Structure 1
């Protein structure tokens, strides 16, 4: 399976930094609250150290010191609560913007690229990766920010207490630095591999569920089960690898974290005995070290979740590399001047060296009704995929109004050239909701006109426009779903309609009626139909006959019958079959 790309860790960090810096005021508030909270937290140990010194000197009243300590502890709690709340709001805002950007990038992915990557990769990026990033934003980022702020200020407080008291903390560096570097050097690739395995498992599961009836009918259950077992085994192996990384990293860091506090007490006692530091200094330094190592422990613990979040962010941003860029509006405006579709020397190959289309030179004038016919495998569907911009030609060009389709933003292109295939999707919601997807401002009269044009008004009235299309017994039959899909196409009002066997699920008589109705309401528009039944070709202004990836005949129904070539043979065969 060819998955979508992944950006580098540097690019992921740069993008995360840009998102955060988009809100400088909120970021300054967050940093300020964390700084004040940490300052209050550092004041209490100092006061407690002074209190111990005073008690040793024989001072009886400790009420003032106790009240001050209590006041600073309460102030720290209040400020920390505000800081965490502010951090959470900022994090959620950043994640919300990232979700919106990802959805926008996902909707701009070329359809061919989505099909190549498979539903599993897209699904896991849209669910697992987004959820992982949200968890990091809610918990890991606030905790990391608190830890970093506390570590920086506590080291400063230790230096003020006495430079000697910093030594036990510095002894952590030769222990934590190599193991952290070892872990970080392997964690990103490990988590990327893990999340790719999720995509492969989801792809296998989705494919099996979608084709469940076929799997059962062909007695392929053992083979599909074995394939799923292999996918799960890969996921299991990837998870074991990341678990092994954590099982090495976390125990080493947890053991190392306990050492500085012990060393501070020992070293502080020796320094006090030599008169180098006061008892208040030793007490404060011990409390500072304990607080510092606690925050280092938290920081290291969240490194694991940050690596997961970094891998997820890299996967989300990877979609952007494949998404079609949004161009300036000038290209669509130029395309609107005249809307002739033109292929010049166009060829296409799904794999190198195996061309499906070869040297196609074709011009379809605005307003023409064109039927594309030919035997199975002739390249009909591939041709219309090029004409709609779904695929890009391997050689040659495809233009509309002299503007390459590749230069037109996908959102604009879809509004101008609409494709309806025999595959369609009915969204959860009501019949009205599904229609309004194509034209949110459409009124009742416009909805009725679209339904009447595709022969769906009678059953739509019976069902009700506000009837739910979800739940047991509420699903539309395939032929009705196809009519609804065609009605949406009319409501979207494109200048070019491409129908790839769009009426194949209807009965011959219903298909004939729908196509005649469509002909009436699409007058003046370009209509390109892959003909499943040859009466479509009979009604067209022009018929393209394809064979072997080339257009072998081009003309009207009458002209091609006179030629007595490939089209005439197809027509006789179709009529001879009694269709």
Structure 2
């Protein structure tokens, strides 16, 4: 199995938990302050039972109550409860801030990392699944973190503090509690290990569901045109059924934790009460002391109950965090400590290049070609022959497996991707218009362009006619349905007209444009290509008759090359390909 198809083993919940803690470590001050406030809250809450026990012991018998001492203890209890409540309130504010800042950092890091990932990763993962990781999984993580902060810090301090206070009252009862405690851990560990796997499958299935929804809604016209609605609903129903099953199993397993740990905790409580009752007649313990120990037994068990009550959210959060960290840990494109490429003259040499997406299936083998500055090179061939792959290699969206591509004599692997790509103007068949104004869409490659430069580029690309008719002209905010497909493609062409790069790549650049406008744009392209090295991919071969050189590709190989007239005289594959487009017209 190729590396690209190898499935990574899911991360364990503890490994994921420590990764989350490292992210939280960016806010050490808030973290330390939260722990301090948790300690203050817990210590005060733990000291209250001692005061209650002392107040109870002041009730010696009938008509023998020391009211002054009793009211003294009760007033101190009131003060401690107020201080503890304020500390808890401040701790909650800090935990909220720490949680949402951490999640904000994770989202920002994820978006930056996606921009740095190789194109191969984005090709192999659905857009919906990636969106689900960045949005839905991060939201679930934030909910789990908030619950975790609230329970974790207070719980740890409560457990440690309770044991210290219990030891000060009675060593033997405290040891009994410690001996019985592992029962809760064993039960919780057994259940959580099963529920984590179910939550992970639930999160993965949710990503598949998001991907399917994005796919169906984004292509609704095609779905309806081919009557695919029922089949799409069936596919959704299958994924929805899987999601329901995984969700039910995850919730079922996790819901066992709370009653199981409560059962163990009740056993511990009963043990403390029984042993303490036998100690009172011998004078080893007072009634007030037993009430303190029983209160501590409850306090000691409370963190286990609290954590088990939110185990569903915590396990779900850790499962989602694991998927997020998988994305963040995907290797980025190789870091570039290379020189910048200046403005290129346009000489492109391809020397013994081999490349394939799947290493078990050969695509391009021993590809050789030389282009002089200013040449118009057309690339033709049947679907799947490697035309678009050739463009991907020129732009370094993928790196070659073997051989080198050189621009002006220097291998493109030795220069930064950004400086290489800034020398190309690229117009693809698939248009991309971002949310924003017309001006912002045109100026992507030249942010500081003036209005005059933008208008001039728009006029040359024949897009100014429809731009000036828009409600706010260049300042019109575009939405998904603001423009037709042809108008979107005109804007993409305008971007290139504005930048005037030394090399051009036109991949079916006029496929969505009417014939009249295409002729006008072809004239504009002819002017633009003057003195610029141009690579033109086209299925309509009539549009590339004037190319300086034509490469005919098949199965990743150049099988023919030359001018249009020379290739037509050879009566080979190109001749057959060119004439085949007129067969139906002739008939």
* TM-score computed with the length of structure 2 as normaliser: 0.87
- Deviations along 1:157-201, whole A, 9 cap, x unmatched? 222222233245335424212222212322332222111111222
- Deviations along 1:36-73, whole A, 9 cap, x unmatched? 22222222222111111123362122332222111111
Does the alignment pair 1:465 with 2:469? no
Does the alignment pair 1:205 with 2:213? yes
Aligned mate of 1:389, from 393, 396, 407: 396
Distance change in 2, residues 1:219/1:533 (3 Å): closer
Does the alignment pair 1:356 with 2:363? yes
Deviation of 1:485 after TM superposition, in Å, equals: 2.1
- Deviations along 1:425-476, whole A, 9 cap, x unmatched? 32333323433444443332333233223211111011012223238xx521
**Structure 1 residue ranges without an equivalent (≥5):** none
Does the alignment pair 1:445 with 2:452? yes
> Structure 1: how far apart are the matches of 2:554 and 2:455?
40
SS at match of 1:58: coil
Deviation of 1:82 after TM superposition, in Å, equals: 1.4
Corresponding residue pairs, total: 576
Deviation of 1:123 after TM superposition, in Å, equals: 2.4
CA contact (8 A) 2:341 2:419 kept: no
Aligned to 1:283: 291
**Structure 2 residue ranges without an equivalent (≥5):** none
Q: In the TM superposition, what are the counterparts of 1:154-169 in structure 2 within 5 Å?
A: 154-167=162-175, 169=177
SS at match of 1:390: coil
Does the alignment pair 1:86 with 2:94? yes
User: RMSD value over aligned CA atoms?
Assistant: 3.2
SS at match of 2:129: helix
Aligned to 2:50: 46
- Deviations along 1:72-130, whole A, 9 cap, x unmatched? 11111111111221222222222211111111122223333223222232122122211
Aligned to 1:8: 11
Q: In the TM superposition, what are the counterparts of 1:62-211 in structure 2 within 5 Å?
A: 62-167=70-175, 169-170=177-178, 172-211=180-219
> Structure 1: how far apart are the matches of 2:258 and 2:404?
57
SS at match of 1:425: coil
CA contact (8 A) 2:254 2:311 kept: no
Aligned to 1:454: 461
Distance change in 2, residues 1:433/1:136 (3 Å): farther
> Structure 2: how far apart are the matches of 1:163 and 1:489?
81
SS at match of 2:478: coil
Aligned to 1:270: 278
CA contact (8 A) 1:430 1:466 kept: yes
Distance change in 2, residues 1:452/1:142 (3 Å): farther
Distance change in 2, residues 1:26/1:412 (3 Å): farther
> Structure 1: how far apart are the matches of 2:414 and 2:300?
56
> Structure 1: how far apart are the matches of 2:239 and 2:96?
36
> Structure 2: how far apart are the matches of 1:333 and 1:512?
37
> Structure 1: how far apart are the matches of 2:333 and 2:360?
29
Aligned to 1:527: 534
Bigger shift: residues 218-227 or 347-356: 347-356
CA contact (8 A) 2:258 2:305 kept: no
Deviation of 1:261 after TM superposition, in Å, equals: 3.2
Aligned to 1:514: 521
Does the alignment pair 1:503 with 2:503? no
SS at match of 1:258: helix
CA contact (8 A) 1:379 1:549 kept: yes
